[in-house]
A and B are shown apart, each in its own frame.
Chain A
Amino acid sequence: MAWLVVTLTWGLIRIAPGNFYSGEKKLPAAVEANIRAKYGLDKPWYTQYGMLMSNVVRGDFGDSLKNPDYSVNEMIAEHLPYSATIGVLAYILALVLGISAGTVAALKQNSGFDYGSMSAAILGLSVPNFVLGPLLVLVLSFWLYLLPPARWGGPSALIMPVVTLGVIYAAYIARLTRAGMLEILRSDYIRTARAKGLSETSVILRHAMRGGLIPVVSFTGPALAALLGGTVVVEKVFALPGLGNIFIQAVLNRDETVVLGIVAFLSILIMIFNLIVDVSYGFLDPRIRFE
């Protein structure tokens, strides 16, 4: 899978006209030939592809083309922590908010809370995060002076990016939880659990949750991929030095090694997460293990 993504990206970059070194001025032929030789561009495409693949397998993506002082690995290592912090916190926020709202909505189906929280969830899905973020900044920073408007520094600077990023996933998860729980609450084993005389809390937390949350678990894979897109926007809105910002810069500057490096890194990351998700199904729902 990761191989496919890297190949696809490499192919896209390769068939695009122009080169990373072409700029306003035409380079002298000798200089151009030197550059091409240095990066192996004078070799046939299959040799270039082979070089790239051996680099990917060794986990070494070379140096940035635009900032030759940095290697791609250094750049990822430097900027990943910012994105990861926001992403993980946002997903935790989304899980806590989404699962609790979804469960309560399912238990009190067709109540005011149900309609209210599900309408709020659709609202959360509809407000683009690049609108929500700046609006939060406007109200909380410029009007109320509560939180710093942008940049990295201290936990208070984290609140708005995390909320901006997390809201849409909280909305998704709330809807998934509600649908999953409604289905499970009608199943036979919940009736059995109730008939055994278990307390309502234990029925819901120990029996219904495990089955009802399977849609949420399977959402984790796509959510991670989407979270990457979300962090790009949030990092831009709040001027954070994360991986998303670096990626956009690299794409716009045609910094090919950095683009390929980040794409490969993130694909592998997503692949690992999908694997974890697949394995965890078996723990949540014993029936799946036998299929």
Chain B
Amino acid sequence: MSETLEPIKGVSPWRDAWKRLIRNRLAVFGLAILGILIVSVVIGPSIIYWTTGYAYDFIPADNDLVKSMPPSFAHLMGTDEAGRDLLARVLQGGRISLMVGIISTAVSLIVGISWGAVAGYMGGFVDNLMMRIVDILYSIPYILIVIVLLAVFGGPGTPHWITWLSDKIGGEGNQGLSQIFLLFFALGLVSWLTMARVVRGQILSLKNQDFVMAARATGVSTPAIIFRHLVPNALGPVIVYATLTVPSVMLTEAFLSFLGIGVQPPYASWGSLAADGIKNIAFFPWQLIAPGVTMALTLFSLNFLGDGIRDALDPQTRKF
């Protein structure tokens, strides 16, 4: 018996969580669907353009083709009333919808993490004041505020720095794009509240630990302690909550676009495509079903994935 023992390799908590995640069949299903969707949204429009020549805003020159056509081999999801290929539009709309979901969540992450971390670390009066503000904002019917915000600042009323930003990125005078930028901020700014609470709770439980005291003793500045030492340790719940924020933001975006105050033509999102589809629901149901089902599938996968990540990162809850 002279074989050498393998040294025991430590398993990092992240790897451990990953293992638990891929054992969760529903979460893997969500991840797979989401992967397929993202890939097809990113490269799909180009592929359709190369193979068939349809773009999301391509209206056929032949007047006989400018009408709603049911799904066929040429148009897998049918066409809308202007004869535009619905698959190309749904994929293009998916870009906007996913982008709104991700960027708005990023905005809410930045605001929420900073707010919650500062409140939690400072404690006392500052904490009280900051969390009281969150409490007040919580009870506001924010959807009303967002509607007013978008209606008031949409169109010619868009603040200069947003038009400036969209001019820099998408070219001069791009009205539709600046509306989308406005959406990012409007949605991000109303969805950071829960994030702030989650982060504060984490920071409160971390800030009295020895490594923070060590950092303070070696003269690390307060902002560095908060953002270099505390925030990275609070990431688990933040990731969970971020995964669940993306679908809820996307739902709100779709809701606003459905009402006609979100994404404006020439751009389209799943919400505005569904709104267009509803007008013709009795005769051309595929115009609603195509964007609607795609969107439901995406949100479904995101929710499953979020639940899976929560179970994976927090084995405690699994016991129940």
A126 and B299 contact, CB distance less than 8 A: yes
A17 and B148 contact, CB distance less than 8 A: no
- Among the stretches A64-72, A192-200, A226-234, the one at the interface with B is A226-234
A281 at the interface (CB under 8 A from B): no
B254 and A130 contact, CB distance less than 8 A: yes
Which of B278, B282, B307 makes the CB contact (< 8 A) with A130? B278
Interface on A for B, CB 8 Å cutoff? Answer: 1, 4-5, 8-9, 12-13, 16-18, 109, 119, 122-123, 125-128, 130-131, 134-135, 137-138, 142, 179, 182-183, 186, 221-222, 225-226, 228-229, 232-233, 236-237, 247-248, 251-252, 254, 259, 262-263, 266-267, 270-271, 274
B148 and A221 contact, CB distance less than 8 A: no
A131 and B295 contact, CB distance less than 8 A: yes
Q: Which residues of B contact A247 (CB under 8 A)?
A: 144, 147
Q: Which residues of A contact B147 (CB under 8 A)?
A: 247-248, 251
B304 and A248 contact, CB distance less than 8 A: no
B140 and A130 contact, CB distance less than 8 A: no
Q: Which residues of A contact B152 (CB under 8 A)?
A: 12-13, 16
Q: Which of B248-279 contact A (CB under 8 A)?
A: 251, 254-255, 258-261, 271, 274-275, 277-278
The DSSP consensus for interface residues of chain A is: helix
A271 and B258 contact, CB distance less than 8 A: no
Could you write out 16 A-B pairs with CB less than 8 Å apart? A5-B144, A12-B153, A16-B157, A17-B157, A126-B299, A128-B255, A128-B258, A130-B254, A134-B277, A134-B281, A225-B140, A232-B259, A248-B147, A251-B148, A254-B151, A263-B144
Shortest Cβ distance from residue B23 to the other chain A in the assembled complex, whole angstroms: 15
Q: How far is the CA of A226 from the CA of B248 in the complex (A)?
A: 12
Shortest Cβ distance from residue A139 to the other chain B in the assembled complex, whole angstroms: 10
Q: Which residues of B contact A254 (CB under 8 A)?
A: 151
Q: Which residues of A contact B157 (CB under 8 A)?
A: 16-18
B245 at the interface (CB under 8 A from A): no
Given contact pairs A9-B148, A12-B149, A125 touches B299 in the complex (Cβ within 8 A): yes
B148 and A122 contact, CB distance less than 8 A: no
B285 at the interface (CB under 8 A from A): yes
The DSSP consensus for interface residues of chain B is: helix
Q: Which residues of A contact B303 (CB under 8 A)?
A: 122, 125-126
Q: How far is the CA of A222 from the CA of B145 in the complex (A)?
A: 15
Given contact pairs A9-B145, A237-B278, A248-B259, A16 touches B153 in the complex (Cβ within 8 A): yes
Q: Which residues of A contact B261 (CB under 8 A)?
A: 251-252
Given contact pairs A135-B288, A183-B320, A252-B151, A128 touches B295 in the complex (Cβ within 8 A): yes
Q: Which residues of B contact A13 (CB under 8 A)?
A: 148, 152
Given contacts A12-B149, A186-B320, A229-B143, 8 further A-B contacts (CB under 8 A): A1-B139, A226-B143, A229-B255, A236-B258, A252-B261, A254-B151, A263-B144, A274-B139
A123 and B151 contact, CB distance less than 8 A: no
Q: How far is the CA of A125 from the CA of B144 in the complex (A)?
A: 21
Q: Which residues of A contact B139 (CB under 8 A)?
A: 1, 221, 225, 270-271, 274
B94 at the interface (CB under 8 A from A): no
Q: Which residues of A contact B282 (CB under 8 A)?
A: 138, 142
Shortest Cβ distance from residue A144 to the other chain B in the assembled complex, whole angstroms: 13
B142 at the interface (CB under 8 A from A): yes
